[in-house]
Amino acid sequence: MLKPQGRSRFADELRIIPGWAIVLAVIAFASMQIVFNVVIARQPDAPPMWGRIPLGILVGGLFGCLLLLIGYVNRDAGRRGMNRLLWTLVAIFVTNGLGIILYFLLRQPLLSSCPQCKSTVQNAFNYCPRCNCRLHPSCPVCQHEVEAGAAYCPYCGKSIENPPAIPSIQANPIV
């Protein structure tokens, strides 16, 4: 499947961020601007305006990014067949962003669908567990995945086109 010009994988990943996370991120960013430039400005020992503006942008940006990442974890976990609620709660309650880092370290590979029966399968599967449809070309001897059109297996060196015959067991005649 060819992608249109100008779209990257990063842009595709950004598209799964839910709308509620984007709205919350914008609200968090705007709230930090109000806190730093209105509420703190009224304090007698408030930093000067040239210090409050960058602090408001920095803190608002950090909170906004945190909320966007929590939304991404929520959608991405569901897309990978993982428990969305559990990973969203881990991303929220494990402090200092460690829950989000933990998610990215432990997440499962993306799921795909079988072209024949449309059931959900892992990308690493060579055959569909439901209908036995061949999903990826694999070596008939060692079952490692090989590139399409390969003549020989890069793992065991056997020919891909001509699978070896299974030796038959011959009975020895009794004399």
Q: Any residues with CB less than 8 A from the CB of 134 and at least 6 apart, and which?
A: 126, 127
Q: In which band, very low, low, confident or very high, does the pLDDT at 20 lie, cut at 50, 70 and 90? A: very high
- Listed residue (131, 129, 167, 127) closest to 143, CA to CA: 127
- Listed residue (83, 80, 84, 82) closest to 21, CA to CA: 84
Q: Any residues with CB less than 8 A from the CB of 29 and at least 6 apart, and which?
A: 60, 61, 63, 64
Please report, for the chain, the start and end positions of each structural domain, with discontinuous segments joined by +. 12-108, 109-161
Q: Mean pLDDT over residues 59-88, rounded?
A: 94
pLDDT reported for residue 5: 59
Cβ–Cβ under 8 Å, residues 63 and 28: yes
Q: Which stretch of DSSP H or E encloses residue 10?
A: helix 9-14
pLDDT at 170 over 50: no
Q: In which band, very low, low, confident or very high, does the pLDDT at 127 lie, cut at 50, 70 and 90? A: confident
Beta-carbon count within 10 A of 114 CB? 18
Return mean pLDDT, the chain. Answer: 84
Cβ–Cβ under 8 Å, residues 32 and 56: yes
pLDDT reported for residue 62: 95
Distance CA 92, CA 23 (A): 17
